[in-house]
């Protein structure tokens, strides 16, 4: 899904956009439903003709071309002999009607599923391409809600409400046409009731909407009480508050139930009144129709047909009011989806570059703060020569990870806040995907996808061979651990019963990054959960396999960083010290103190032993 420019949707243009490519299903559906309605209208006419002119003895009163044809065949007398023929015609037409009905429902279903698929896929793709800052701003649960419930509601709007309105209108027009063609006076009377029923039902449903919402909200509260009780079960027990919880739940349970029962009173009164109105309308038509028959202005067959049309009309008209009042709810959902679709996706500059990435990394007067918060990095400048190992040491929140987020363009550095170059080219001028492809990054808290370990490690390339995957795992010192699982590399991450320890996760993520074969590798505190021994082993293996890659190591552990070509100490977003291990030790500053402390901790045991 490539949008050429950042287009912003309006409510209607978004719905139209989603409908693109799926509209034909709904067109077929409506056309077929027209067929159903028409055929269902014709059937009563056949019954009428049969009753009046075959069973009765009136002349046929169809449009001239049909009447002529029928008379040519021998008129009522012929059909009296061949009544079975009429039954066959009915069966034939009903087969047609049934086919149309199938098409109506099937294409409506297919259309709505296709629409949902389009919406889901587009949302997913768009979310994938939204900047990381957007992800940080929004809550996962809320976004998922928009991608599921709201998508569903938009589907209901298009596939159920919009199409059913069109279908009901077609049905109304057709049945009124037939009714008027038979008897104008009676039709007018039947027609009178239509606005009354629609208005009554629309009025009621719009009024009752608030009560429905109240019920929903109270169900939400009840559900939350249960949820909190279950998640906080330890707190409840530890404070011995079972009785309090019981009473709280019971109170809301009663309240919620009471609301629904009251709503039910209204609803059943409404349904009852609706039944009464339509029942009276049917009676009125029946009585007046009889009067007209007696007066001779209406034939018996016409009367019977009229009654059929009238009953066909009543139910959809009652529905129409409800549909109209419920349609307004869809607007909110479209809005909520629009919020995602209108968020600007990550975008490269026109003619973004894809230069060679085997060059020096330079941070040039970089300052940065996340949206709405104070600056985290203050005017930081340093150079990492290509092929060297660079260590960063700093307290939690000193801005280490932020620097890496900027390097990887997870956050965009505004031009006035300095620049970051690789091989002399500003990374802001490069394609973001190019930058990321060439920077292998292992995050502090690695995220593994819920698929097999092999798929996780081999995710960066299609058709990666098992050898390559295992090779990466071996370098990351996780091959043995994986092989010990019952399903080995086919173990699905996150499935019940299988839990990877923090260290195993980190090492798997390292293996995954290694398959990227990037010229720049960043280890963002990614060995924190493994013990010093394994840490050293991994670093050793990495060292042998890195080639001429640039390595950036972030760690709390001095021993991890000691051998780096250059070590930078960050303090509250500023460079406190920088140099090689020896230089920094000689300097006797912060680094030295940290080193001494860490080494002392190791010695503490020995001291205790001696004492």
Partner 1 sequence: MQKETEKKEYVSLPYFGLNKLLPYLKPYRGTILGMVILCLLAGVIDIIIPLFQRYALDHFVALGSMDGLPLFIGSYVLVLLVQVISNIISCYQAGEIEMYVSRDMRRASFNHLQTLSFSYYNQNSVGYIHARVMSDTARIGGLVSWSLMDGVWNLSYIIGAIVVMLSINAPLALMVLVIVPLTALAAAYFQKHLVALNRKIREINSRLTGGFNEGITGAKTTKTLVVEKKMEDDFNAISSDMFRTSVRASHFRSLFISVISFSSFLALSLVLWRGGLITMEGVMALGTLSVFMSYALNLMEPIQWIVRAISDLITVQVNVERFTRLMETESDVRDTPEVIAKYGDAFEPHRENWEPLHGDIEFRDVSFKYPDGDEYVLEHFNLKVPQGTNVAIVGETGAGKSTLVNLVCRFFEPTSGQILIDGRDARERSQLWLHSNIGYVLQSPHLFSGTVKENLLYGRPDATMEEIEAAVKSVSAEGVIARMEHGYDSNVGEGGDLLSTGEKQLLSFARAILANPRIFVLDEATSSIDTVTERLIQNAIESLMKGRTSFVIAHRLSTIRQADVILVVKDGKIVESGRHEELMAAKGYYYNLYTRQFQEESINQVL
Q: Segment 72-101, which members bind partner 1 (CB under 8 A)?
A: 80, 83-84, 86-88, 90-91, 93-95, 97-99, 101
Q: Segment 310-349, which members bind partner 1 (CB under 8 A)?
A: none
Tokens representing residue 113 in the block? 């599923």
Kindly report the number of other CB atoms within 10 A of residue 150's CB atom.
22
CB of 173 to partner 1, least distance (A): 21
Nearer residue to partner 1 within complex by CB, 93 or 202 = 93
CB of 349 to partner 1, least distance (A): 18
Q: Segment 346-375, which members bind partner 1 (CB under 8 A)?
A: none
What is the side-by-side strand order in the sheet with 361-368?
377-384, 361-368, 419-422, 425-426
What is the bridge-based pairing of β-strands 566-571 and 574-579?
antiparallel
CB of 520 to partner 1, least distance (A): 12
Q: Angle at Cα 610 formed by Cα 605 and Cα 611, nearest 5°?
A: 100
Binding status of residue 184 toward partner 1 by CB under 8 A = no
Question: What is the b/e burial string over 154-163, where b = at least 16 CB atoms within 10 angstroms of the residue's CB?
Answer: bbbbbbebbb
Binding status of residue 106 toward partner 1 by CB under 8 A = yes
Widest CA span of the chain, in angstroms? 126
CB of 563 to partner 1, least distance (A): 16
Among 42, 208, 286, 464, binds partner 1 (CB under 8 A): 286
Among 273, 332, 466, 498, binds partner 1 (CB under 8 A): 273
Task: Give the separation between CA 396 and CA 91, rounded to whole angstroms.
Answer: 80
Segment contacting partner 1 by CB under 8 A, of 102-110, 184-192, 193-201, 316-324: 102-110
Segment contacting partner 1 by CB under 8 A, of 190-198, 271-279, 360-368, 369-377: 271-279
Segment contacting partner 1 by CB under 8 A, of 218-226, 329-337, 480-488, 539-547: 218-226
Among 232, 355, 387, 423, binds partner 1 (CB under 8 A): 232
Task: Give the separation between CA 2 and CA 128, rounded to whole angstroms.
Answer: 12
Among 371, 396, 424, 484, binds partner 1 (CB under 8 A): 396
Q: Segment 482-511, which members bind partner 1 (CB under 8 A)?
A: 496, 499, 501-502
Segment contacting partner 1 by CB under 8 A, of 144-152, 175-183, 187-195, 377-385: 144-152
Binding status of residue 133 toward partner 1 by CB under 8 A = no
- What sections of 232-241 are H helices per DSSP? 233-238
Nearer residue to partner 1 within complex by CB, 418 or 503 = 503
Q: What string of H, E and C letters represents the secondary structure of 350-406?
A: CCCECCCCCCCEEEEEEEECCCCCCCCEEEEEEEECCCCEEEEEECCCCCHHHHHHH
Burial class (CB in 10 A: 0-12, 13-18, 19+), 507: buried
Segment contacting partner 1 by CB under 8 A, of 65-73, 163-171, 174-182, 230-238: 230-238
Task: Give the separation between CA 419 and CA 415, rounded to whole angstroms.
Answer: 7
Nearer residue to partner 1 within complex by CB, 416 or 606 = 606
Binding status of residue 228 toward partner 1 by CB under 8 A = yes
Binding status of residue 202 toward partner 1 by CB under 8 A = no
DSSP secondary structure letters along 421-452: EETTEEGGGB-HHHHHHTEEEE-SS----SSB
Q: Segment 3-62, which members bind partner 1 (CB under 8 A)?
A: 43, 47, 50-51, 54-56
Beta strand residue intervals within 219-371, DSSP E: 361-368
Binding status of residue 297 toward partner 1 by CB under 8 A = no
Kindly report the number of other CB atoms within 10 A of residue 368's CB atom.
21
Binding status of residue 109 toward partner 1 by CB under 8 A = yes
Q: Which residues have a Cβ under 8 Å from the Cβ of 285 and sit 6 or more positions away?
A: 186, 189, 190, 306, 307, 310
Among 179, 410, 430, 511, binds partner 1 (CB under 8 A): 410
Among 66, 280, 332, 466, binds partner 1 (CB under 8 A): 280
User: Considering CB under 8 A, how many residues would be counted as binding partner 1?
Assistant: 156
Nearer residue to partner 1 within complex by CB, 89 or 385 = 89
Binding status of residue 226 toward partner 1 by CB under 8 A = yes
The residues with which 553 forms a beta bridge, in sequence order, are: 391, 523
Among 114, 320, 341, 554, binds partner 1 (CB under 8 A): 114
Quote the distance between the C-alpha of residue 227 and its chain's center: 24
Nearer residue to partner 1 within complex by CB, 10 or 98 = 98
Burial class (CB in 10 A: 0-12, 13-18, 19+), 499: exposed
Nearer residue to partner 1 within complex by CB, 245 or 326 = 245
């Amino acid at each position: 899904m490539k949008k050429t420019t950042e287009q912003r949707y309006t409510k209607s243009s978004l719905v139209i956009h989603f409908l693109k490519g799926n509209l034909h299903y709904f067109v077929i559906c409506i056309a077929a439903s027209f067929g159903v309605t028409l055929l269902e209208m014709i059937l009563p006419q056949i019954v009428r003709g049969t009753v009046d002119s075959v069973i009765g003895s009136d002349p046929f009163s169809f449009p001239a071309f049909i009447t002529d044809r029928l008379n040519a065949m021998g008129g009522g007398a012929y059909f009296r002999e061949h009544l079975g023929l009429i039954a066959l015609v009915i069966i034939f037409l009903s087969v047609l009607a049934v086919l149309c009905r199938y098409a109506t429902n099937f294409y409506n279903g297919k259309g709505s599923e296709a629409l949902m698929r389009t919406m889901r896929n587009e949302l997913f793709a768009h979310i994938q391409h939204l900047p990381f800052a957007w992800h940080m701003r929004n809550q996962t649960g809320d976004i998922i809600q928009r991608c599921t419930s709201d998508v569903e509601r938009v589907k209901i709007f298009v596939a159920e409400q919009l199409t059913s309105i069109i279908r009901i209108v077609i049905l109304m027009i057709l049945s009124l046409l037939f009714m008027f063609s038979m008897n104008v006076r009676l039709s007018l009377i039947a027609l009178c009731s239509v606005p009354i029923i629609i208005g009554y039902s629309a009025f009621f449903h719009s009024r009752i909407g608030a009560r429905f919402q109240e019920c929903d909200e109270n169900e939400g509260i009840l559900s939350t009480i249960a949820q909190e009780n279950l998640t906080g079960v330890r707190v409840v027990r530890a404070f011995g508050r079972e009785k309090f919880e019981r009473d709280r739940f019971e109170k809301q349970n009663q309240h919620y139930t009471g609301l629904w029962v009251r709503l039910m009173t209204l609803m059943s009164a409404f349904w009852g009144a609706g039944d009464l109105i339509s029942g009276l309308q049917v009676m009125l038509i029946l009585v007046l129709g009889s009067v007209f028959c007696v007066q001779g202005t209406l034939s018996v067959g016409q009367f019977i047909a009229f009654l059929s049309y009238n009953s066909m009309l009543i139910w959809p008209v009652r529905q129409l009011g409800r549909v109209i009042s419920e349609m307004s709810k869809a607007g909110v959902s479209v809005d909520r989806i629009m919020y995602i679709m209108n968020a600007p996706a990550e975008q490269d500059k026109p003619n973004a570059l894809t230069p060679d990435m085997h060059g020096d990394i330079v941070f040039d007067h970089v300052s940065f703060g996340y949206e709405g918060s104070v600056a985290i990095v203050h005017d930081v400048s340093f150079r990492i020569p290509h092929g060297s190992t660079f260590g960063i040491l700093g307290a939690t929140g000193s801005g280490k990870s932020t620097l890496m987020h900027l390097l990887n363009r997870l956050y965009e550095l505004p031009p006035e806040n300095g620049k970051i170059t690789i091989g002399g080219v500003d990374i802001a001028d490069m394609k973001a995907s190019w930058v990321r492809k060439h920077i292998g990054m292992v995050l502090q808290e690695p995220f593994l996808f819920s698929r097999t370990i092999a798929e996780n490690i081999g995710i960066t390339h299609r058709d990666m061979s098992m050898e390559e995957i295992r090779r990466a795992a071996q370098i990351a010192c996780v091959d043995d651990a994986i092989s010990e699982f019952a399903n080995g590399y086919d173990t699905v991450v996150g499935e019940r019963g299988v839990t990877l320890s923090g260290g195993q996760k980190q090492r798997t993520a390292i293996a995954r990054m290694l398959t990227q074969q990037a010229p720049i590798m960043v280890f963002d505190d990614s060995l924190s959960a493994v013990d010093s021994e394994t840490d050293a082993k991994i670093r050793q293996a990495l060292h042998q396999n890195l080639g001429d890659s640039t390595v950036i190591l972030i760690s709390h552990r001095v021993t991890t960083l000691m051998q780096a070509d250059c070590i930078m100490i960050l303090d509250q977003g500023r460079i406190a010290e920088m140099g090689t291990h020896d230089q920094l030790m000689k300097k006797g500053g912060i680094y030295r103190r940290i080193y001494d402390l860490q080494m002392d901790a190791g010695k503490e045991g020995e001291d205790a032993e001696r004492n």
